[in-house]
Amino acid sequence: MPEGLQSLLKLSERVFYCEVSESGAIAACSDSLRRILAMPEPPIGNLIEEIFLPAVPGDNRLAITDFTAASDITPLLARLVMTNRPCRLLIISQRNGFFCWGEVIGDKSTTGLNEVSNLTGQIQELLKQIKKQHDELQQGLKTAAWLQHRFLPTARKYGDVSAAWHFRPCEKIGGDYFNIFIKRDGSLAAYLLDVSGHGMASAMLGIAATQYIRQTIDGFENDDLQASIMPQLLAKLEQEFPLERFNLYFSMIYLEIDHECRQMKWINAGHPDPILLRNGEAPILLKGGGPFVGLDQAELVDEQQIELKPGDRIYLYSDGITERRSQDGGFFGEKLLMESLARENQQPLQKQTDAVIADNDTYGAPLPPQDDITLVGLEIVAAL
């Protein structure tokens, strides 16, 4: 923000700005708004209808729909609830709500009018920059979301393994990425990774990691390696995506099921433990693993294996499911996840997956998820 505007906001009793969330609550504001409203504390958390009235007396109070409908060129005329002073609001939509530049008008007893006139050009330029950055961000997020969905699997059957999943980013673009594919030796490979944070940086790191995993596995197969590729894959990921390079890290679980569906091997780098659901038995967590990818500690992640049986189901999931909060602050957790899986075990794989997510949504209602929701199920359908 230009230095002149910062100085004006510190001193003025006419000019203010505020950021408004999608729910209509004040998320941030200048201290000048507090002074204009004669409030002891900034109105953070107040709804806009508690702050602003329509310009025409007698109309209902302003609502978030008025902000949504407002143009970023034509100011919205309003009055302040506390003092009834008229003001005009220039509203710019942004990623999670609105940026609002306001000015009290028609009140010559207050100071700052000349300063506002002198800084009008800077204000307009600032608003143009905000809108340009917002538009560029939205376009970038749309592109990243399109790329993310391009990397999702398309098939639901891989030889003698059926697959089902439910994938729901908490924003337009999330940090969860997964894929399922058949390697040249006929074995099935699947992975799920979860990048820290949200937004463009996390999205692009996830896309890059997804591409790198597949390219690296293809390279191993071209080299006709006889040993397990998992330790080498993890080492290469650590080398390519160090924490200090991106200031981001990701958890990952990678597994392979042999072409006869008799054995599963996997590595777990900081990811929630997969769940094995076997006919007639309680679900079990396949515990074990090591640190996140990015910490240069690949040697601490051990490769593990388990023998499989017909009808076995393996579930991979992101922590957006287990860390889903209820209205009273509780966590869904592993216990409720396994209870839900066991309860729906007689359902077909996709219906079971959808039913578990429905249980998770019911638990968290009416609050929206605060993280990406991903659940991937694999079922051994071969008669061994």
The CATH number corresponding to 151-380 among 3.40.50.300, 3.40.50.2300, 3.60.40.10, 3.40.50.1100 equals 3.60.40.10
pLDDT of 103: 85
Which of the four pLDDT bands, split at 50, 70 and 90, describes residue 87? confident
Angle, CA of 10, 11 and 15, to the nearest 5°: 85
Give, in degrees to the nearest 5, the angle at Cα 37 between 31 and 39.
75
Alpha carbons 130 and 18: distance in angstroms, whole number: 13
CA-based torsion, 312, 318, 322, 326: positive or negative:
negative
Q: For position 111, what pLDDT does the model report?
A: 43
* CATH annotation of 3-143: 3.30.450.260
Burial of 140 (0-12, 13-18, 19+ CB in 10 A): middle
Q: Is the pLDDT of residue 268 over 70?
A: yes
Three-state SS at 115: helix
Residues 331 and 325: their CA atoms lie apart, in Å, by 5
Cβ neighbours of residue 316 under 8 Å, at least 6 residues apart? 178, 190, 192, 253, 255, 271, 274, 374, 375, 376, 378
**What is residue 172's predicted lDDT score, i.e. its pLDDT?**
58
Question: pLDDT tens across 23-77, in order?
Answer: 889 999 988 888 888 888 999 999 988 888 888 776 667 777 787 776 555 678 8
Q: Residue 286 pLDDT more than 80?
A: yes
Least-confidence region, from 103-112, 192-201, 359-368: 103-112
Per-residue pLDDT, averaged over 9-29, amounts to: 83
> 33-42, 200-209, 269-278: which has the minimum mean pLDDT?
200-209
Let me know: does 303 contact 228? Beta carbons within 8 Å: yes
- With beta carbons less than 8 A apart as the criterion, state whether 253 and 303 touch: no
Instruction: Calculate mean pLDDT across residues 259-265.
Output: 91
Per-domain boundaries in the chain:
3-143, 151-380
Tokens 């809108």 identify what position?
Answer: 131
Share of the chain above pLDDT 90, in %: 41
DSSP 124-155: HHHHHHHHHHHHHHHHHHHHHHHHHHHTS---
Say yes or no to pLDDT of 293 above 90: yes
Tell me the average pLDDT of the chain: 83
- Identical fold between 3-143 and 151-380: no
Where in the chain does DSSP place strands (E)? 15-21, 26-29, 52-54, 76-80, 86-94, 97-104, 157-158, 161-168, 176-182, 188-195, 250-257, 263-269, 275-277, 284-285, 304-307, 313-317, 373-380
In the prediction, which pLDDT does 107 show? 55
pLDDT classification of 384: cutoffs 50, 70, 90: very low
Answer whether residue 347 shows pLDDT above 50.
Answer: yes
Mean pLDDT score, 170-190:
84
pLDDT confidence of residue 16: 87
